[in-house]
Structure 1
Amino acid sequence: MESITRAAGALLGTRLSDPVDLGGSRRSTVLRCATADGGSVIVKAFTDEPAALRAFTAEAAGLSLALAGPELLAVAADPPLLVMADLGSAPTLADVLLGPDAAAAERGLSAWARGLGRLGAGSVHRRADLAALWARYDKGMPSWDDEPWIPANAAALPGVIEAAGSTVPPGLEADLARIGTAGGGQYPAFTPGDTCPDNNLITPQGLRLIDFEAACFQSVFLTAAYCSMPFSTCWCVFRLPTGMGEALEEIYRQEAVAAYPALAEDAVWRAGMRQAAAVWTVDATVRLLPRATQADTPMHRTRRPVPTVRQVLLHRWERAAGLTEFPAFADTFRRLLRQTAAGWDVPPLPPYPAFTAPAPGTPTGRPLLGDTAR
């Protein structure tokens, strides 16, 4: 921590002290450091592993757009290090969803969906800017815009399923080709990439996004799917009250329509959302099924409460089994559900703790998220 603090201080031209480790990850160390004037900054130092170097480039480029997130104060390429404004110790969206206050959870979810939608709509003209910034901070790794992760997942899915002891129905490859990339390049918008609940701060000034390690432009459908699935790639996945996912999705859509009027057409929107749900289900299956066949483990090492890997997969597969416009795709997940019914003796995914004690009248005791209009 001392070497990181010294390097960040030299970058800012001031003395930093009293570093506090905020956790970070295998890719990075994140510190809160005191400044000489009595304030504080956040310092994020990355390792030299390929995944960390791509995360550094994405975060430096994404924050440099100044569309969302903390103010970027300084960047060093060697060693890869960022200094950001300190947004304080506000609770995250994960904190309120796992807490006891349903009203606070609803407000947080509504602000999150609207904030993501506004960010997407306001960013559509900045794609070339992000590409130029990526080139400025490039560490030799392909950008997330250029990463063919969706086709790679589709190619890997049959092998993952067979390795788990299930069978692949005829027609799956054709269905995956029809699902494609959930809108492809038609409706791209900027996203920090990892918009999970623990990367969203509920501050007195409103929602603030953090963690831009996967910043990119992607289809609005892929981002909107986080609202209704919910949280397509995250650990903090529980059941939302009936209708709430759809209400959150509509909040996002109302903002996105400002950039892409075609999204006001229900046929366009619903088709894109079904494809996005399929894309993320394939992603979850490829990532998690090999792990789940060995043992059922928590989705997070330390946070509690937390669902298990098998609970999350079963929840994703139940929805995928209903995508009947892709019959072989839906049959794939029905087969997985049948295969695991006996061996995976786990309870259904529970609701978010904030919504476990609803008052009579509606699933949460109030109209879901109130008025979804502006």
Structure 2
Amino acid sequence: MESILRAAGKLLDVELSGPVDLGGSSRSTVVRCETAGGGTVIVKAFGNEPDSLRCFTAEAAALSLGIAGPKLLGVDPEAPLLVMEDLGNAPTLADVLLGSDPKAAESGLLAWARGLGRLAAESVHRRADLTRLRSQYDKGMAPWGDEPWIAQRATELLAQLEGAGIDAPPGLAEELAGIGTAGGEEYPAFTPGDTCPDNNLLTSEGLRLIDFEAASYQSVFLTAAYCRMPFSSCWCVFTLPAGLAAEIEQAYRAEVVGVYPALAEDEVWQAGMRQAVAVWTVDATARMLPRTAEDGPLHRTRRPVPTRRQLLRHRWEMASTLEEFPAFAETMRLLLREIAGSWDVARLPGYPAFENRGPSRPLRTPTDVPTSG
């Protein structure tokens, strides 16, 4: 910690003290520090392992882009570390979803969806800038966005089916190869990478995003799927009230149709969203199925939180309706029958904030979302 404070203080030419651990990860240490002038800053220091260095490059480049996240005050590529403005102790989207105020949870979700959509729209013409900034902070690791992660997860899923004694339906491998195109160049936009509820601060000035360790450009559908599923790769996953998932999805879509007019066509939008749901379901299955021999919570400390089995069953049920991918949908039904059929776990519950919400209201259709069909 002393070396981190010295490096960050030298970077800002100010003495830093009183570090408070904000809970980083195996890749980084995040602390709030006091400045000699009485203010505070956030210091994020990264390790020297390959994944840590990849995360440093992504975050340094993304924050330097200046279109989202806290203001970047300094970067030390040698340490490596970043110093950022302190956004304070505002609640996260996870806090309000796990709380007891349904209005705060709903407004938080809508702010999150609009904010992500606006960021995507504003970023479309900045991809070359991000590439240039990445080269400035390059540590020799390929960007997350360049990894063939969708194809890798598909290969893992096929191996897991074989290991579980489940015969893959004819045509599954071919369908998975086609589903993998959702990570391609169609409708790309910037994403922080980890858009989960605990990385979204609901401040008095509006939504502020944190954690850009996996920032990249990807299909807008892969981001929008977080509205529908919800939260495709996260721990804070419960069910949403009827209509609300569609409402936040429309809020995101309303922002991106301005830069990608084709997304106003329902046929285009729905096809892309279903493909993205399939991608994220393959991802969740490949990552978690090997760990379901014994069930356990999705987060080490946060409560309430669903279990791995609850989440996977929910994902499989949703994906089992994707009939444009018949082999994949049949695979989901096989997993529900052959694997989840023996799980003695409750169904995935609703978000705590909406438990006492009362009757569902009709879905509002925003006037600024053009539709067809």
TM-score, normalising length: structure 1: 0.96
Q: Who is 1:17 aligned against?
A: 17
- Does 1:233 pair with 2:233? yes
- Give unmatched runs, 5+ long, in structure 2: none
Q: After alignment, is 106-115 or 162-171 more displaced?
A: 162-171
- Give unmatched runs, 5+ long, in structure 1: none
Contact 2:313–2:340, Cα closer than 8 Å, also in 1: no
Q: After alignment, is 279-288 or 173-182 more displaced?
A: 173-182
SS at match of 1:23: coil
1:78 to partner: Cα distance: 1.3
Aligned pairs (5 A) from 1:307-346: 307-346=306-345
- Does 1:177 pair with 2:177? yes
Contact 2:14–2:35, Cα closer than 8 Å, also in 1: yes
Q: Who is 2:119 aligned against?
A: 119
1:242 to partner: Cα distance: 1.3
Q: Deviations over 1:315-345 (max 9, x none)?
A: 0000110001111000011000001244211
Q: Who is 2:262 aligned against?
A: 262
- Counterpart CA distance in 2 for 1:357 and 1:372 is 29
Q: Who is 2:27 aligned against?
A: 27
Q: Who is 2:192 aligned against?
A: 192
Contact 1:67–1:123, Cα closer than 8 Å, also in 2: yes
Q: Who is 1:354 aligned against?
A: 353
Q: Who is 1:68 aligned against?
A: 68
2:305 partner amino acid: V
What stretches of structure 1 move > 3 A for 4+ residues in a row?
366-374
Q: Who is 2:85 aligned against?
A: 85
Q: Who is 1:280 aligned against?
A: 280
- Counterpart CA distance in 2 for 1:301 and 1:341 is 23
- Counterpart CA distance in 2 for 1:370 and 1:36 is 51
1:317 partner amino acid: W
- Counterpart CA distance in 1 for 2:368 and 2:65 is 28
Contact 1:181–1:276, Cα closer than 8 Å, also in 2: no
SS at match of 2:182: coil
Q: Deviations over 1:29-75 (max 9, x none)?
A: 00000011111000000111111110100000111110000001100
Q: 1:369 to 1:81 in 2, by over 3 A?
A: farther
Q: Deviations over 1:279-327 (max 9, x none)?
A: 00000011111111x2101000000000001100000000110001111
Aligned pairs (5 A) from 1:216-227: 216-227=216-227
Contact 2:188–2:217, Cα closer than 8 Å, also in 1: yes
Contact 1:169–1:331, Cα closer than 8 Å, also in 2: yes
Equivalenced residue count is 369
Q: 1:149 to 1:372 in 2, by over 3 A?
A: farther
Contact 1:251–1:373, Cα closer than 8 Å, also in 2: no
- Counterpart CA distance in 2 for 1:64 and 1:245 is 32
- Counterpart CA distance in 2 for 1:64 and 1:3 is 24
Q: Who is 1:244 aligned against?
A: 244
Q: Deviations over 1:3-51 (max 9, x none)?
A: 2111100111110000000000000100000011111000000111111
- Counterpart CA distance in 2 for 1:73 and 1:305 is 36
- Counterpart CA distance in 2 for 1:318 and 1:174 is 22
Q: After alignment, is 81-90 or 157-166 more displaced?
A: 157-166
| CA-based RMSD | 1.4
Q: Who is 1:55 aligned against?
A: 55
Q: 1:341 to 1:291 in 2, by over 3 A?
A: closer
1:367 to partner: Cα distance: 5.2
1:117 partner amino acid: G
Q: 1:259 to 1:30 in 2, by over 3 A?
A: same
Q: 1:370 to 1:172 in 2, by over 3 A?
A: closer
Contact 1:244–1:369, Cα closer than 8 Å, also in 2: no
- Counterpart CA distance in 1 for 2:182 and 2:130 is 22
- Counterpart CA distance in 1 for 2:241 and 2:284 is 22
Contact 1:251–1:372, Cα closer than 8 Å, also in 2: no
1:190 partner amino acid: F
SS at match of 1:186: coil
- Counterpart CA distance in 1 for 2:27 and 2:198 is 17
SS at match of 2:170: coil
SS at match of 1:198: helix
1:165 to partner: Cα distance: 3.8
1:169 to partner: Cα distance: 1.2
SS at match of 1:124: helix
- Counterpart CA distance in 2 for 1:255 and 1:145 is 23
- Counterpart CA distance in 1 for 2:133 and 2:52 is 17
- Counterpart CA distance in 1 for 2:125 and 2:131 is 12
TM-score, normalising length: structure 2: 0.96
SS at match of 2:124: coil
- Counterpart CA distance in 1 for 2:107 and 2:362 is 12
- Percent of counterpart pairs with the same letter? 68
Q: After alignment, is 161-170 or 151-160 more displaced?
A: 161-170
